[in-house]
Amino acid sequence: MPEVRRTLQSRKGGARDSYRFFLERIALDSEGFLLLKAGGDGRDPYEPDADDGTVPALVGKWYEAERIAGWLKQRCEKGGRIVLHSVEADGQAWGWEFDGQGRMRDLVLKPVGKWR
Number of domains in the chain: 1
Q: Does residue 87 lie within any of the structural domains? A: yes
Residue 68 has pLDDT above 70, yes or no: yes
Q: Does residue 115 lie within any of the structural domains? A: no
Residue 1 has pLDDT above 60, yes or no: no
Gap between the Cα atoms of 5 and 94, Å rounded: 25
Domain range for 11 is: 2-108
**Helices and strands (H, E) in the chain, number of each type:** 3, 7
Q: Does residue 114 lie within any of the structural domains? A: no
Q: Does residue 34 lie within any of the structural domains? A: yes
Q: Does residue 77 lie within any of the structural domains? A: yes
Q: What is the mean pLDDT of the chain?
A: 80
- State the distance between the two ends of the chain, measured CA to CA, in whole angstroms: 46
The candidate with the shortest Cα–Cα distance to 98, out of 54, 34, 51, 48, is 34
Q: Does residue 46 lie within any of the structural domains? A: yes
Q: Does residue 69 lie within any of the structural domains? A: yes
